[in-house]
Amino acid sequence: MKTKEHEIIFIKEDVQKFVQLISDRNPIYQNLERAKDYGFETIPLHPTMPMMAYKWLASPLELQHPVIHRKQKCIQHKRMYIDEVYRAIVEVTDQFQRQNVTFIKQTLYLYNRDGKLCFEGISDLIVGGLS
């Protein structure tokens, strides 16, 4: 089961808020000149930042509370940058029930304009059920 594709653009302010939140002081995320000093054409995204795409996406399933985020894994296939358009899809890749709880594995995929996979964010959830 998948969501519809959504176009997402991460802007500089999003990156700055994110790295401040996680206390990453690397200057490549803060300003363009420092990013260029390190060989980037523009400001890159922090490797875990693409998981923030969930704020614009819904799960492909209706999840009943409680929703517990057990673990996540981020796989960066290609470096991602601010102000670029990415296509985002969330897919449920595994689902099973044990006793009164449902276990779900869902994967966030982000593709660049050329259709190349840039990021996979795998989340393992425990939920009270599905609607």
Q: φ, ψ for residue 30 (rounded to 5)?
A: -100, -35
Q: What is the dihedral of CA 58, 61, 65, 70, to 10 degrees?
A: -80
Asked whether residue 6 carries a pLDDT value surpassing 90, the answer given is yes
Tell me which residue has tokens 């690397």: 26
Lowest-confidence pick of 8-12, 44-48, 59-63, 126-130: 59-63
Domains (range + CATH), the chain? 47-130 (3.10.129.10)
**DSSP-derived secondary structure letter, 30:** T
Name which of 108, 109, 113 is nearest 123 in CA terms: 108
Q: Report residue 45: phi and psi, to 5°.
A: -80, 145
Tell me the average pLDDT of the chain. Answer: 93
* Per-residue pLDDT at 99: 87
Structure pTM? 0.90
What letter represents residue 20's amino acid? Q
CA 96 from chain centre, in angstroms, equals: 23
